[in-house]
Amino acid sequence: MDQVTYKGLTFEPYITNDTIQNRIAEIAREINKQYAGKQPLFLCVLNGAFPFAADLFRAIDIDAEISFIRLKSYEGTSTTGVVKQVLGLSENLEGRDVIVVEDIIDTGNTIKKLVADLKEKNPASIRIATLLFKPESLQCEVNPDYVGFAIPPKFIIGFGLDLDGLARNLRDIYVLHDDNL
Ligand SMILES: O=P(O)(O)OC[C@H]1O[C@H](OP(=O)(O)OP(=O)(O)O)[C@H](O)[C@@H]1O
Ligand SMILES: Nc1nc2[nH]cnc2c(=O)[nH]1
């Protein structure tokens, strides 16, 4: 894996697609076991979570459904602090076992707002699956149930994660080179 450059910023290889896929398979096995006999609704938070949600959902072998919601708070490499709901949810969540699927939890503001909104729809349960988690960056209390990788507070791209819309199509995950900071 080589370095990649977007908008004049250099990123180093960080997590390979093989490593990502192995971890997703482990999380799927856990979900398959814990939700046996139930029919969970996976709720993919667009845009960034779509590759993780697709690979995770394909590895689920119990009956399950998937739906999508679009939230946005980042511009460039930093949060705007405002979580916008761009595309709403049409499903009835009453009594459903919901698994929210995120690509990353950073400040925690996005997932906190989403979970608070979802709770008002009276689901039977809500759990959070996130591919990446930056515990040192949290600005609120959030405890994801399924975490792919806990990482330090550095900006990353690839496998769904973007820099102003670009780099989501990278197969692997890359981290912003320290010299850029
Ligand atoms: O924990 P937080 O600091 O709130 O950050 C996490 C959020 O940031 C990203 O979304 P973004 O707003 O970049 O939209 P995108 O998914 O369309 O890239 C990511 O997909 C999470 O939803
Ligand atoms: N691309 C990208 N989006 C994010 N949203 C919150 N944290 C990050 C990050 O590290 N990279």
ipTM metric:
0.96
Strands ordered across the beta sheet of 156-157: 4-6, 9-15, 173-176, 156-157
| pLDDT at res. 143 | 96
What is the spatial distance between Cα 117 and Cα 54, in angstroms, rounded to a whole number? 24
Assigned CATH topology for domain 20-149? Rossmann fold (3.40.50)
Q: What angle do CA 54, 55, 60 make, to 5 degrees?
A: 95
Residue holding tokens 């608070």? Answer: 116
| pLDDT at res. 177 | 87
| pLDDT at res. 39 | 97
Which candidate in 63, 97, 106, 172 is catalytic? Answer: 106
**Tens of pLDDT along 66-97?**
999 988 776 677 776 766 665 678 788 999 99
Whether the link from the prior residue into 143 is cis, omega within 30° of 0, is no
Q: Which of 71, 117, 130, 161 to mutate to test the pocket of ligand 1 (most atoms within 8 A of CB)?
A: 71
All structural domains of the chain with their residue ranges:
20-149
| Cβ(165)–Cβ(179) below 8 Å | no
Q: What is the pTM of this model?
A: 0.94
Average pLDDT estimate for 8-12: 96
Strands 41-46 and 65-75: parallel
**Tens of pLDDT along 104-159?**
999 999 899 899 889 988 999 999 999 999 999 999 999 999 999 999 999 999 99
Residue holding tokens 């006999």? Answer: 37
**Tens of pLDDT along 13-58?**
999 999 999 999 999 999 999 999 999 999 999 999 999 999 999 9
DSSP helix/strand/coil, 25: helix
Cα(123) to centroid(ligand 1), Å: 23
